[in-house]
Amino acid sequence: MKKDLYINGEWLKTDHYTELRAPYDHRVIAEIASASVADVHHAIASADRATKVMRKMPAHQRAQILENLAILLREKRDEAATILATEAAKPLTTAYAEVDRTIQTYKFAAEEAKRIHGETLPMDAAPGGEGRVAYMVREPLGVIGAITPFNFPMNLVAHKVGPAIAAGNTVVLKPASQTPLSSLFLAELLAEAGLPAGALNVVTGSGRTVGDQLVTDPRIKMITFTGSPGVGTSIRQKAGLKRVTLELGSNSAVIVDNGVPLDKVIPRCVGGAFSFQGQVCISLQRIYVHEALYEEFVERFVEQTNALKVGDPLDKETFVSALISQGDVQRSLDWIAEAVGQGAVVAAGGTAEGNVLHPTVILNVPVDVKVSCQEVFAPIVLINKIASVEEGIELVNDSRFGLQAGIYTENVHKALDAADELHVGGVMINDIPTFRVDHMPYGGVKDSGMGREGVRFAVEEMTELKLVVFNRN
Ligand code: NAP
């Protein structure tokens, strides 16, 4: 199956195609177009022309297109989930959950399209402002360059394309090389939903070639990037005065205080650590448990980890499947070995079969080994002992990242202290850091990025505030 580029509402051939293989069994699932420099220029020019159409399109029509898209996705839910399971090795149950969230994200975007507004400003608050009426409006930026990662190929694309269209922008989308099929599927659906030609263009191909051009082309007014901190930093350095939103990685942590109900907490933590093989930006990587609960917590956590079904993503029972690449399996094994070399103890997993790394639990992990201080992005979690919530907060904050953090405690004072002191974009009280729904503001501090997604907040990033002052004197 050959997949072409989607530019200006048409499927276009290019000179080079690369094989796309399924991460689980390595079978070839498609041949994907590799965009040339000229192709990217063509896509940007189309998006630039389409800004005139999108800027004038009334809000109700933008909302209707997004609403139509949500309806089409619901009708094609099975097809969408199978694409995700195949190209990303996303276990089917998780894949269906992503499709459902994608539908919600587009519905939120449809609703948001109708309430993008400014405010009025009392000009007479300043001497000399009397007799003037001032109001602000939010205008679309123009062409948005969207660069997306492999781990949520539908919903993280929705978090960029949905708000961009809601606000009247146009998009050139560069999906991750491992997961282009979801974006090409979206292009088909959006055309059917009534989006004008050129308003969404999908250019597949190498991150460096396509990405660099998007980041440096002056016709692109904003780059919205989700991916690794390394690539995010290089984008920021090259983007000049373009607006940039960066949603990057983390080594998210939870604190478990004495006296919390472990029956509820442990299954939630197991899910947060191993869902989609830990390849989630807010995957639970570090668990800090009060010493009074530690032994019991570890024993029950390990038991539940060993019960997780590992295998084929297309099997509905599977909870943990293949990592995205063989290189990531080897890296994970190396990082586990490094931790063990520094005195850590593997309590579950620690081995791989093919591209599947068994869900791994590590204890007594020093703070400076990679499974603790880097983003592990694999089914590996550490459980360390703490003497107090205060110690837990210090450990959570001892990180270059700061996306979300969680704390389980029955003590309201400790909960509110943690909310004050945790240096992250979002604090989850009595939940894991992995909690996210699609309308909440979402994004990080420190090396976890800048700017916020969550539809309303992304719309703010993707619009420009304009002031109008009417002099009645
Ligand atoms: P990645 O390697 O950084 O790739 C992300 C995207 O950037 C891909 O489309 C990639 O294209 C492209 N790219 C690569 N080099 C580029 C360059 N020089 N210029 C412009 N674009 C370039 O990330 P990933 O491995 O796909 O995703 C995992 C990372 O994403 C993790 O760090 C995870 O935490 C982060 N993430 C963050 C969030 C969040 O909301 N904070 C959500 C999900 C994931 P190719 O695929 O062609 O290389």
pLDDT tens digit string along 266-310? Answer: 999 999 999 999 999 999 999 999 999 999 999 999 999 999 999
User: Residues near 472 by Cβ (< 8 Å), separated by ≥ 6?
Assistant: 131, 132, 133
CA-proximal residue: ligand 1, atom 35 (nearest): 227
Nearest Cα to Cα of residue 59 among 130, 136, 112: 112
Residue 35 and residue 14 in contact, taking contact as beta carbons nearer than 8 Å: yes
* Catalytic position from the list 67, 98, 112, 247: 247
pLDDT category of residue 139 using cuts at 50, 70 and 90: very high
Does ligand 1 lie within 6 Å of residue 211's CB atom?
Answer: yes
The overall average pLDDT reported for the chain is 98
- Cα 176 to middle of ligand 1, angstroms: 7
Summarize pLDDT for 456-469 with one digit per residue, the tens: 999 999 999 999 99
- Give 448 Cα–ligand 1 centroid separation in angstroms: 13
pLDDT tens digit sequence for 45-78: 999 999 999 999 999 999 999 999 999 999 999 9
For residue 443, tell me if it sits in a domain. Answer: no
pLDDT at 296: 98
Residues in CB range of 206: below 8 A, 6 or more apart: 34, 177
CA of 227 to the centre of ligand 1 (A): 3
Query: Are residues 172 and 204 in contact, defined by beta-carbon separation less than 8 angstroms?
Result: no
150 lines ligand 1 (CB under 6 A): yes
Rounded distance between C-alpha atoms, residue 31 and residue 242, angstroms: 33
Ligand 1 lined by 208 (C-beta under 6 Å):
yes
| pLDDT interval class at 29 (50, 70, 90) | very high
Per-residue confidence band for 402, with pLDDT thresholds at 50, 70 and 90: very high
Evaluate whether residue 71 is within a structural domain: yes
Ligand 1 center to 421 CA (angstroms):
29
Q: Is the CB of 228 under 6 A from ligand 1?
A: yes
Question: Do the domain assignments include residue 442?
Answer: no
**Claim to verify: residue 325 and residue 376 sit in the same structural domain:** yes
* Length of the chain in terms of residues written: 473
Q: Which residue has the tokens 């599947």?
A: 356
Taking the centre of ligand 1 as the mean of its atom positions, its distance from the CA of residue 248, in whole angstroms, is 8
Residue 164: its pLDDT value, please? Answer: 99
Residue 361 has phi, psi (to 5 degrees) of -120, 130
**Span 159-179, mean pLDDT?**
98
Same domain, 235 and 318: no
Kindly state whether residues 150 and 28 are assigned to the same domain.
yes
Owning domain of residue 353: 253-437
Residues 377 and 234 reside in one and the same domain: no
Is 289 in a helix, a strand, or coil? Answer: strand
Query: Per-residue DSSP letters for 2-32?
Result: EE-EEETTEEE--SEEEEEE-TTT--EEEEE
Q: How confident is the model at residue 178 (pLDDT cuts 50, 70, 90)?
A: very high
For residues 33-52, average pLDDT: 98
Report whether residue 212 contacts ligand 1, using a CB cutoff of 6 Å. yes
Mean pLDDT to the nearest integer, 159-177? 98
| In a domain? residue 54 | yes
Pick the residue whose CA is nearest to atom 48 on ligand 1: 207
pLDDT digits (tens, 9 = 90+) for 210-260: 999 999 999 999 999 999 999 999 999 999 999 999 999 999 999 999 999
For atom 28 of ligand 1, the residue with the nearest CA is 227
On whether both 216 and 304 belong to a single domain, the answer is no
99 to 29, 170, 290, 344, 395: CA distances (angstroms): 20, 23, 37, 38, 35
233 CB near ligand 1 (under 6 Å): no
Q: Is 247 a catalytic residue?
A: yes
Residues 243 and 345 grouped into a single domain? no
* Total number of domains constituting the chain: 2
- What's the pLDDT tens digit per position in 101-127? 999 999 999 999 999 999 999 999 999
Asked whether residue 412 is domain-assigned, the answer is yes
For the chain, give the percent of residues with pLDDT over 90: 100
Catalytic residue among 281, 375, 453, 461: 281
Please tell me whether residues 381 and 402 are part of one structural domain.
yes
Task: Give the per-residue pLDDT at 270.
Answer: 98
Is 180's C-beta closer than 6 angstroms to any atom of ligand 1?
no
CA–centroid distance, residue 177 to ligand 1 (Å): 10
Q: How many other CB atoms are there within 10 angstroms of residue 236's CB atom?
A: 16
Give pairs for 95-101: CB < 8 Å, separation 24+: 95/313, 98/152, 98/154, 98/155, 99/73, 99/154, 101/155, 101/437, 101/438
Find out whether the beta carbon of 251 lies less than 6 Å from any atom of ligand 1.
no
Instruction: Tell whether ligand 1 has an atom less than 6 A from the beta carbon of residue 4.
Output: no
**pLDDT at residue 288 in the model:** 99
Which of 21, 151, 181 for mutating ligand 1's site (highest number of atoms within 8 Å of CB)?
151
Q: Does 56 lie in the same domain as 19?
A: yes
Q: Please check whether residues 84 and 122 belong to one and the same domain.
A: yes
Q: What is the pLDDT of residues 320-368, one digit of tens each?
A: 999 999 999 999 999 999 999 999 999 999 999 999 999 999 999 999 9
User: 319-349: b or e for each residue (b if 16 or more CB lie within 10 Å)?
Assistant: bbbbbbeeebbebbbebbeebbeeebebbbb
**What is the reported pLDDT for 458?**
98
CATH number at residue 391: 3.40.309.10
| CA neighbor of 452 nearest in space, from 411, 381, 413, 403 | 403
Do 293 and 217 have their domain in common? no
Residue nearest to atom 18 of ligand 1 (CA): 208
Domain containing 18 — which CATH number?
3.40.605.10
Mark whether 60 and 204 lie in a shared domain: yes
Do the domain assignments include residue 196?
A: yes
Q: Is 281 designated active site? A: yes
Indicate yes or no: pTM above 0.75: yes
> What average pLDDT does this structure show over 155-184?
98
Residue 346 in any domain: the answer is yes
**Is residue 111, in this structure, part of any structural domain at all?**
yes
On whether both 353 and 464 belong to a single domain, the answer is: no
pLDDT value at residue 81: 98
- CB-based contact 351:358 (threshold 8 Å): yes
pLDDT-above-70 percentage for the chain: 100
pLDDT score of 411:
98
Q: How many CA atoms lie within 13 A of 29 on its CB side?
A: 21
State which amino acid sits at residue 270: V
